Amino acid sequence: MRQWARQLGFSQIGVAGIDLSDAEPGLLAWLAQGFHGEMHYMERHGLKRARPAELVPGTLSIVTARMDYLPPGTPPGWQALELARLQQPGQAVVSLYARGRDYHKVLRQRLQKLAERIAQAVGPLGHRVFTDSAPVLEAELARRSGLGWRGKHTLLLSRQAGSMFFLGEIFLDLALPPTPATSAHCGACRACMDICPTQAIVAPGQVDARRCISYLTIEHPGPIPEPLRPAMGNRLYGCDDCQLACPWNKFAQPSVLADFAARPALQQGDLLHLLGWSEAEFLQHTEGSPIRRIGYARWQRNLAVVSGNALRAAQLPQALARLLCQHLQRMAQDPAGDALVREHAAWALAQARPTAATRPDTTPDKQG
């Protein structure tokens, strides 16, 4: 089975049992504290997340799989390069995992093919495949099946691959022997906790999603709380900070699949260019991308916050500041636009230094 999985682009597979009863108290406590924010589906599903046989009746074992997602061609020292991008106000940074094709589609198709290969070997087989697409405790199942351990940021960590990978599962009505879990190797390190811009990792293994930039830019449908907007910096979609700081990610591996090659516009992340996308262009450029699901209004909301934070930066060139203000003024004054976008655009304009929108560009003409 491992050979079949590697042929399909998976880096590692394991097998987990279906008894997650000891994970239920932690899940209930997390929900009770409201850490799930407006992800109401987590509350609706309740303990079904920890009871695989209730989610898919007849399930006897679960095959877990990980797939590396760093874009092919990612250079050595990529963590430092990505951290440096966060200090450039003219850029809008998209999380590494979202720069290529939608991982849901890639993993689901390949998990289905793996399930079919298993069925060919053992005979008729009841199964369902999942990848971040159902109430499944993916990281916990992966931990129990030996794919890694849970870091203090709650993500799965592997000694061979850091945390830059996706997870998927095949629920089977076939009893397979579980693979042994591995030990944890974070020790006293708290790099992920210390770097979090909003201090969303409130304790080791506890994340308050309501403060997490990934949640705020992707899952959260309404206004981004004003106190948290400056902390977003130039993070447009998602946030990789806790992974960029993790020492284990020096072992992260580029994907072997062309699907995760970065799209140029999302890799370059030119803020002014992305601000200029119409809704039709947004849909065109995000076809087959996980970004499309947030919709154009939420995309513009995020762009407005990134623009406002850029306007607060002392190193932003005046010419760029004026162009950003022009875009934001159109967004804020568009009577046909989304009210959410107008409010965030107005906030962004209020962040501009007093001369940003009116001061003439006095930079000498370097062309002579």
Q: What are 282-309's pLDDT values in tens digits?
A: 999 999 999 999 999 999 999 999 999 9
Catalytic residue positions, numbered: 132
Question: What mean pLDDT is predicted for residues 243-264?
Answer: 96
- Give how many domains the chain has, as a whole number: 1
Residue 75 belongs to some domain of the structure: yes
Asked whether the predicted pLDDT for residue 251 surpasses 50, the reply is: yes
Was 236 annotated as part of a binding site?
no
Residue type, 277: W
Residue 196 belongs to some domain of the structure: no
Residue 176 belongs to some domain of the structure: yes
Residue 79 belongs to some domain of the structure: yes
Nearest to 66 by CA among 144, 158, 133, 128: 158
Q: How far apart are CA 196 and CA 243, in angstroms?
A: 10
For 202-211, the CB contacts below 8 A with 24+ separation are: 204/152, 205/150, 205/152, 205/154, 206/30, 206/35, 206/154, 207/35, 207/153, 207/154, 208/33, 208/35, 209/35, 209/36, 209/37, 209/39, 210/34, 210/35, 210/37
Was 255 annotated as part of a binding site?
no
> In which residue are the tokens 């850091």 written?
162
Asked whether the predicted pLDDT for residue 216 surpasses 90, the reply is: yes
| Cβ density class 99-133: b for 16+ within 10 Å, e for less | bbbbbbebbbebbebbbebbeeeeeeeebbbbbee
Question: What mean pLDDT is predicted for residues 136-154?
Answer: 95
Residue 320 belongs to some domain of the structure: no
The pairing of beta strand 235-237 with beta strand 93-94: parallel
Was 51 annotated as part of a binding site?
no
Was 61 annotated as part of a binding site?
no
Asked whether the predicted pLDDT for residue 362 surpasses 70, the reply is: no
What DSSP character marks residue 232? H
The pairing of beta strand 165-172 with beta strand 61-68: antiparallel
Among 242-246, 281-285, 326-330, 354-358, the minimum mean pLDDT is found in: 354-358
Q: E strands within the chain?
A: 12-16, 61-68, 93-94, 127-130, 149-150, 156-157, 165-172, 201-203, 206-207, 235-237
Tell me whether residue 272 is exposed, middle or buried, using C-beta atoms within 10 angstroms of its C-beta: 0 to 12, 13 to 18, 19 or more: middle
Residue 350 belongs to some domain of the structure: no
Asked whether the predicted pLDDT for residue 53 surpasses 90, the reply is: no
Higher pLDDT, 19 or 102: 102
Average pLDDT, the chain: 91
Q: What's the whole-model pTM score?
A: 0.91
Tell me which H or E stretch contains 208.
none
Q: How far apart are CA 359 and CA 31, in angstroms?
A: 50
Residue 239 belongs to some domain of the structure: no
Was 325 annotated as part of a binding site?
no
Per-residue pLDDT tens for 186-197?
Answer: 999 999 999 999
Domain carrying residue 103: 1-89+97-187+248-263
Residue 125 belongs to some domain of the structure: yes
- Tell me the three state secondary structure of residue 361: coil
